[in-house]
Structures are given as C-alpha cells and as structure tokens.
Amino acid sequence: MSPINKFSGRMIATVVSNKRVGQYHQILLNVGEMVNNCKPGNFVAIKVGGENAKMILRRAFAISRVSLTGPYGGSMELIVAPFGQGSKWLCSQDEGSEIDLIAPLGTAFGIPTQPVRALLVGGGYGSAPLFGLAEVLKNRGCRVDMYLGASTGGKIYAPMEGKRSVNVLRIYTEDGSMGERGRVTEPIPTLIADGLVDVIYSCGPMPMLRAISEIVAGSDVVHQCAVEESMACGVGICMTCVLPVADADGNVSMRRSCIDGPVMDGANVAWDLVGKVPEVFP
C-alpha cells in the first residue's frame, strides 16, 4: 500500500488566533499530536462554509509551520489569501471557531542528508511552507537563502521569526513597493552560473515554478517545487488534480498532484503540457 496519507486523519481543530498580515491571514490551529506527522510541503484540506454550506469541496492550504510546544499544545499555522468564498470564510473565522480538517496530506520537500546550499523561492503566499523548511534545512547545516516575490508588498509574507533560519532574505516586488523591483526569478541564473546553489525549493504560482524549472534545466541544480492544481478531494480519489509528469524513461503520464505532489521534481513536470494532455499513450 502506498505510504502516502498513511498518517493523515480528520479532526476538528480550534482556531487559536487569526491575524491579518499584509493581504493574508495568519491562522493558528490547535491540532495536538497531528503535528508530529506534518512535514514541510504537506498540506491540509479544510471544510469551508459551516454546516449548511453550498460549498461541498474542501480547500487546500500549505502547512506553513507546526509547533509542538506552545501554550496550547501542538499547533499548525496557515497563511491564507482571502480569494474566493471558501478562503474568505476561513479568514473570517475567529479565535475559538472549530475547523474540520484533514492533514497532513501529500508529499513533503526532500531533505538532503548532506549540508547543501539551498535557495528557497516563494511567490505570494507560497512562502508559507518555506519558513518551516528553512528551519529543518538550517538544522541539517545547510546554507539557506530565501528569495520572495510578489506583485506588491502587501502580498509578501515574511514573518520576523522566520528570518532567523535564513542566511539571506531578499524580497522582490513587481511594483517596487517592497524590496527590489522585479521578478524573484531574475537573479537565479547568475546564482547558478556562479555555482552558489545546489538545490532550489520553490512554492508559488505555476508560471514561477515553470520559469525556475527552465532556468535550472541543463544545470546540476535540483529543483523541488510545490505545485498547485485545482483539487476536488485532496486524497487521491477523484483524478482532478493531475499534471503531466515524466517517469524515469521520459514517458509522460497524468499524475495526481495531491498524492504524487504537491512537492515534485521540477525537472519531471512536462510544463508545456500543463492544461493539455499528452498526444498518445506511451
């Protein structure tokens, strides 16, 4: 049996706090022992809208960080953009509200056994899982640089505490309202050319992930990216969340991003086929 989702379960968690941070909500949930099974890259599937909701599908959110020790026991942090009805509902839940969730789901970022030079690239709320990851990498002796990008400063999520685990933190905004003006992907080619990075971990919009994959192509840099496709079930039973992914022989098939992802090897994703299907079956 596939080990995926082996440790996942459903629970009712209580909202410990809900704070606005820029254009996002930082939501802390009391989840108890569950945190022991959560790894950076995993996500949570949340039931939205309350008891009588017309919304029938769960919403996926990356687990930003977990903490075992805290005033409330094990807790999990999410960074949520109020986007549509479901995420807006979640952002409106006050302290003490109960949240129906299933976690931890999906693959996690691979952690190198050797200390490597890691570059973490986040777009928008995509930075959420990177701070937890940075901590793990730091503890393994890695050098951790983090580059965050967004269209505007309000969409950069970079909490104070998170910066501790990071050697360098650079911020890019397209409108120049925070950090440097430009795209977060722009400085990467030089870094690679200068041999300053071994592994790139990325999380953010699909075009950003694709751009990074194209930049590292041909180099020795490994690229682990957390993808985002529309998900109906989040647990592997509906086949809605597929992406074209190549196997070792280069044969492309449609893989479920909820159980074969969200963390995937960027080199294996057939980015040009996303939103299409391979012409013929291998």
Ligand X SMILES: Cc1cc2nc3c(=O)[nH]c(=O)nc-3n(C[C@H](O)[C@H](O)[C@H](O)COP(=O)(O)OP(=O)(O)OC[C@H]3O[C@@H](n4cnc5c(N)ncnc54)[C@H](O)[C@@H]3O)c2cc1C
Q: Nearest CA to 120 among 170, 66, 59?
A: 170
Nearer to ligand X, 116 or 133 (CB): 133
HSE, side-chain direction, 13 A CA sphere, residue 134:
27
> Contacts with ligand X in 210-229 (CB under 6 A)?
228
Assess 274 for contact with ligand FES (CB under 6 A).
no
Question: In this chain, which of 217, 237, 247, 277 binds ligand FES, going by CB under 6 A?
Answer: 237
Cα–Cα distance for residue pair 116/101, rounded to 1 Å: 34
Assess 177 for contact with ligand FES (CB under 6 A).
no
> Which range in 23-31, 72-80, 91-99, 227-235 contacts other proteins by CB under 8 A?
227-235
Give CA 98 to chain center in angstroms: 23
Cα–Cα distance for residue pair 77/68, rounded to 1 Å: 12
Question: In this chain, which of 11, 15, 55, 191 binds other proteins, going by CB under 8 A?
Answer: 55
Cα–Cα distance for residue pair 45/59, rounded to 1 Å: 5
- Bridge partners (DSSP) listed for residue 225: 202, 264
> Contacts with a second copy in 92-121 (CB under 8 A)?
none
Residue 280's identity, in one-letter code, is V
Cα–Cα distance for residue pair 179/186, rounded to 1 Å: 14
From the list a second copy, ligand FES, other proteins, none, which binds 49 (C-beta under 5 to 8 Å, kind-based)?
a second copy
Q: Nearest CA to 125 among 55, 223, 205?
A: 205
Per-residue binding string, a second copy, 44-83, x by CB under 8 A, is ----xxxxxxxx----------------------------
Least Å from the CB of residue 239 to ligand FES: 5
Assess 270 for contact with a second copy (CB under 8 A).
no
Are 92 and 25 in contact, with CB atoms under 8 Å apart?
Answer: no
Q: How far apart are the first and last CA of the chain?
A: 25
**Tokens coding 187:** 């400085």
Per-residue binding string, other proteins, 7-36, x by CB under 8 A, is -x-x--------------------------
Least Å from the CB of residue 230 to ligand X: 4
**Tokens coding 215:** 């930049």
> Which range in 42-50, 133-141, 167-175, 234-242 contacts a second copy by CB under 8 A?
42-50
Least Å from the CB of residue 39 to ligand X: 14
Give CA 220 to chain center in angstroms: 23
Residues in the chain: 282
> Contacts with ligand X in 117-156 (CB under 6 A)?
125, 128
Name the site residues for ligand X (rule: CB under 6 A): 43, 57, 59-62, 79-81, 83-87, 125, 128, 228, 230-231, 262
The binding site for a second copy (CB under 8 A) comprises 48-55, 85, 89
